[in-house]
Amino acid sequence: MTSRLHVDEPGSALWYDLDDPTDDELRDLATRFGLHPLAVEDALQEHERPKLDRYENHLFLNVYAVGFDGEPRKTEISAFITPQALITVHHAPFDMQPVRDRWADGERPPGGVEFLVYALLDLVVDTQYRIAQGIDEAMDSVEDRMLGDGPAPRDVRRHGFTLRRHLATLRRAVAPMPEVTRSLAGGLAAGAHLEPYFRDVEDHARHALDLIEHSRIRITELLDDDLAEQSNELNVVTRKLAAWAAIIAIPTALTGYFGQNLPYPGYEQWWGFVVSTVLIVVTAGGLYSYLKRRNWL
Residue 107: DSSP 8-state: T
| Per-residue confidence band for 1, with pLDDT thresholds at 50, 70 and 90 | very low
- What is the per-residue pLDDT across 220-252, written as a single tens digit (0 to 9) for each? 888 888 788 778 888 888 888 888 888 888 777
Chain-wide mean pLDDT for the chain?
Answer: 83
Confidence of residue 110 (pLDDT cuts 50, 70, 90): low
Judge whether residue 274 has pLDDT over 80.
Answer: yes
pLDDT band at 292 (very low <50, low <70, confident <90, very high): confident
Q: List, in sequence order, the alpha helices (H) in 175-294.
A: 177-188, 195-257, 270-293
Q: How confident is the model at residue 5 (pLDDT cuts 50, 70, 90)?
A: very low
Torsion over CA of 88, 20, 27 and 124, rounded to 10 degrees?
Answer: 20
By CB atoms closer than 10 A (0-12, 13-18, 19+), residue 141 is exposed
Q: pLDDT digits over 180-211, tens only? A: 998 888 877 655 677 888 889 999 999 999 99
Assess contact for 178 and 205: CB atoms under 8 A.
Answer: yes
- As to burial, measured by CB atoms within 10 angstroms (0-12 exposed, 13-18 middle, 19+ buried), residue 137 is exposed
C-alpha 186/C-alpha 223 separation (Å) is 42
Residue 61 pLDDT > 90, yes or no? yes
Q: What is the DSSP letter of 82?
A: -
pTM over 0.85: no
Alpha-carbon torsion 201, 125, 27, 1, what sign? negative
Other residues' Cβ atoms within 10 Å of the Cβ of residue 211: 19
